Structure 1
C-alpha cells in the first residue's frame, strides 16, 4: 500500500477523471488523499457526494466560496503579479506562479503537509505543488495531462501573456516530473515533440461499466427522452456558441426539408446556458423551420448519472470544433460516455475523434467541421433507418464493453503507478 496525493485547482465534481483515478487507487489498496480547489458554489455543494468515498478530500478555498477578505487578498495578489510579470524577466518564478492562478502558493503549502510517496498533479497550477511536496518528502511527482495546455490558445492569442506563461510553466515544470500521462494519443505525442521528452502514457477519459445503471431515480429517467421521435443528445457544463450546436440546428432543418415522413427531431441539450445564447439559438432554429420545442434544455446532473441518462436518447453528438490545437487533439469524455450508453455517435472529424472512429467505425460517423450538409447526411442515415441505428447502438455498446471503459483503462493507470513507485 502506498500513500498517494492527487492535486487539482478545481472541483472534483468538475473533474471526473481525477475522481476515477482516486477511486481506482483506493480500490487497489492505496491510501489516497485529494487536495482540490473550492471556488464555485455549485461545485462546493456537488463535492459533498465524495464524503463517503474511500479517500480523503481536502479543499482549498478561493473565488466565490472564500470569505470576502480572502477574495480581495487573492484577487489583488494575482492582479499585482500579472502586472509585475509584464515588467520583470519571464523566468521570475515567484511572480509567474502568482500570476498563473489564484491559489498556487496555497496548493503548495497544503500538498507539503501530506507525507505521501507519490504526488499526481491535474492541470498546470497543481504541478508546482506536486513537485515541491515530492522534494520535501523524498517522493515522486507526476502530471496527468487532460489537455494540451499550450494548444488551448487560438492563433491570435499565442503571443498573449497568458500563453507565454503557459509555455513557461510547461517547459519549467513538466520535464521535472518523473511520469507524465495524457488523455489522448494526440496530446501525448504533442507534449513529447514540444518538450523533447519521452512520450507520456495514454490513459483515455472513459467511464466505469457500473455507471450504466442504478444511479438515477427511475421517474427522472422516464422523463429524460422527449417522448416522440428521435432525440439528438449533447451535454457539457455550458451551452454556448462555437460548440457546433448551430450546425446541428441547421442540419435538422435540412433533414426536415429533404426527408419525407422524417420523424420529429429534438435537440436535447444538458448544461447551463451562457448569457443570451438560448435566445440566439431559438432564433436560428425558427429561421430554418425548427420549432422552439424541438430544442430541449436539460439541467446539469451529478457525474455518476450521465451514462444512464444519455442511454435514454437516440444519437449522441460530439461536436469538437478544432478552434485550437488542443480541441483538435483531445478526445473528450462525452464521446466515451455515448459509447458506454450504447448511443450511435455523430462526431466532427478532429484528430482525436478520428482515433475513436478508427477503433469503432460501426458506432461513430464522422462529418466535416462546419459542413452542415455533411452532418445532415450522416444524421439522416440513422434518422431514416431504425434498423441501422439499432446496429450502430449495439456496436457502440460492444466497443465500450470490450475496450472503452474504465474497468479496462484503469489497469494502465495502476501499472504506471506501480512501475513508478517500484
Structure 2
C-alpha cells in the first residue's frame, strides 16, 4: 500500500484539532501520501498552524480565505454561509453546516486519492463528492455525536440539519471511526450496517516530557483547559466547590480564550464564594505541543463535563487524556463515558457527581489531606500513559482500520 493517497478534510484548523494531526502523522509514517485540506477558523490558531506545519512530512492546503490575507474570499464565504443557513429549506443542506464547505468540495475534488476522510460534518460532503468523482472511498471520523452536540431539541434547525447530513452520507462511508465507545454505540444504533472503530483521544508518549514531580506541600494546583473558557463546561461548579475548602490549600489554573464578560462573571462567582482572585490564574492558549509541558506543572486535572447534551455525556475529551498521560490525578464528573473509563481504570483518580459542588469539594479535599496518595496516583497515571493509554496503542488500531478499508476496495 506504499504510495497510496489519503486526503484528510476539516472545516477547522490543525492547531484546533490535535486528532487530525495525529492521524496525518500516523498515515505518513505508515507510508501513505497524505494531504490535509483545512480552513481558517480563528486568528490565534493561524500562527500556531505555521509553526506546527513547517516540519511535517505531509502536505496541508488551506482554503476559503481568511480575514487578513484573502479578505474578499473570506467575506464572500461568510455571506454564502449565512444565506445557506437562512434558506436551508430551499438550498442544499450540505452548505448549511460550515462556512468553508464549498471550498473544501472544490479542493478535494481536484485531488485524486484512494481514500478521503472527513473530520466534521462541514467536511463530509467534500469527502463524499471527491470519492464519487474519482471512484474512490470515503470515511468519517466522528470525534463527537454531532446531531446532539448541543442541548437543542430534535425539532431544532441545528439538529435537523445535522441529522440530514448524517443520514445522507454516513450509510455510504467505507469506514467510521469515533473517539469513545459510547459514541460508537450511538452511531451503531442509528446505522446498524456500519462497524465503528473507537480511537481514543490519546497522545504520543514522546510528547510527555518526564515523570511528574512530587508535591511536597500545599497549595495543591488544580488544572483545567480548553480552547475556550466559558459556560457549559462545569467551571461554575468548580468555583463553588473551592469556596468550601481552606483558602491556602489550593490554586486553580484555567487555560483558554476567555471573553471579558465571562471572566468578570467567573471572578464575581469567586468573590461570592470568598475565594481571593489570586487563587484563580488564567492562562492564554499555547501551541498544541506545549500543553503537556505546562500540564505537568500541576497536580490535579479536572474533567468537569456537565453532561449538558447527549454528546457531552458520551465524549472523552483531549483534556481527559492529557491529564492522565501527563501524570495528573484525575478528578472527573460522572458522565456516562468518563464513568465507564474509570470503571476500567479504577486507580486513576476519583469521580464526582456532576452539579454537586459539595461532593467535588470532598473529592479535592481527600487529596489535599493525603499528599502521599496524590503523588502515588500521579506516578501510576504517568506509567499507565506510557504503557497502555497512548496514541501508539490507538495508532495500531487506526492503521489496521485504514488498511482493511483499502484492502476491501
TM-score range with shorter-chain normalisation?
over 0.9
Aligned to 2:181: 185
* Structure-1 residue corresponding to 2:238: 248
Distance in 2 between the 1:210 and 1:145 partners? Answer: 26
Q: 1:38–1:65: 8 Å Cα contact kept in structure 2?
A: no
Find out whether 1:45 has 2:52 as its counterpart. no
SS in 1 for 2:251: strand
Counterparts of 2:293 and 2:190 in 1: how far apart (Å)? 39
Aligned residues: 401
Alpha-carbon RMSD? 1.9
Q: What per-residue deviation string (whole Å, max 9, x for no partner) do you get for residues 5-42 of structure 1?
A: 11111000100000000001111111111111124222
Q: Which residue of 1 aligns with 2:120?
A: 123
Structure 1 SS opposite 2:302 = strand
8 Å CA contact 2:64–2:103 kept in 1: the answer is no
1:117-159 Cα offsets, whole Å, 9 max, x none, are 111110011111111111222211110000000111314x432
Question: Given the alignment of the two structures, is residue 274 of structure 1 paired with residue 259 of structure 2, yes or no?
Answer: yes
* 1:334 shift after superposition: 0.6
Q: Shift of residue 78 of structure 1?
A: 2.1
2:139 is aligned with 1:136: no
SS at match of 1:124: coil
Give the whole-Å Cα distance in 2 for the aligned partners of 1:30 and 1:342: 33
Between the aligned partners of 1:205 and 1:374, the Cα distance in structure 2 is 27
- Determine if contact 2:64/2:77 at 8 Å carries over to the other structure: no
- 38 and 325 in structure 1: CA distance in 2 versus 1, 3 angstrom threshold: same
User: Which ranges of 4 or more aligned residues in structure 1 deviate by more than 4 Å?
Assistant: none
Match of 2:304 among 310, 319, 323: 319
> Per-residue displacement from partner, 1:317-363 (whole Å, max 9, x unpaired)?
00001100000000001110011100001100001111221222111
User: What does residue 35 of structure 1 align with?
Assistant: 37
1:58 pairs with 2:61 = yes
Structure 2 gaps, min length 5: none
**Partner of residue 105 from structure 2, selected from 104, 108, 120:** 108
Structure 1: which 5+ residue stretches go unaligned? Answer: 89-93, 215-220, 257-261
Which has a greater percent of helix? 1
Secondary structure of 2:394's counterpart equals helix
Q: State the secondary structure of the residue aligned to 2:373.
A: helix
Question: For 1:412 and 1:240, how far apart are their aligned partners in 2?
Answer: 34
Calculate the TM-score normalised by the size of structure 2.
0.94
Mapped to 1, the partners of 2:76 and 2:32 lie a distance apart of 37
**1:305 maps to 2:301:** no
1:213 aligns with one of 175, 196, 209: 209
Q: Is the 8 A contact 1:10 1:37 kept in 2?
A: yes
Q: Are residues 27 and 293 of structure 1, via their aligned partners in 2, closer, same or farther at CA, if it must alter by over 3 Å?
A: same
Point out the more displaced range, 58-67 or 11-20: 58-67
C-alpha deviations, 1:186-218, integer Å up to 9, x for none? Answer: 10000111233323000000011111129xxxx
The structure 1 residue matched to 2:80, chosen from 77, 98, 101, is 77
The 3-state SS of whatever aligns with 2:122 is helix
Is residue 234 of structure 1 aligned with residue 224 of structure 2? Answer: yes
Alignment of 1:282-301 (within 5 A): 282-301=267-286
C-alpha distance in 1 between matches for 2:383 and 2:154: 41
Shift of 1:228: 5.9
8 Å contact from structure 2 (residues 219, 251) kept in 1 = yes
Q: Contact 1:44/1:65 (CA < 8 Å) preserved in 2? A: no
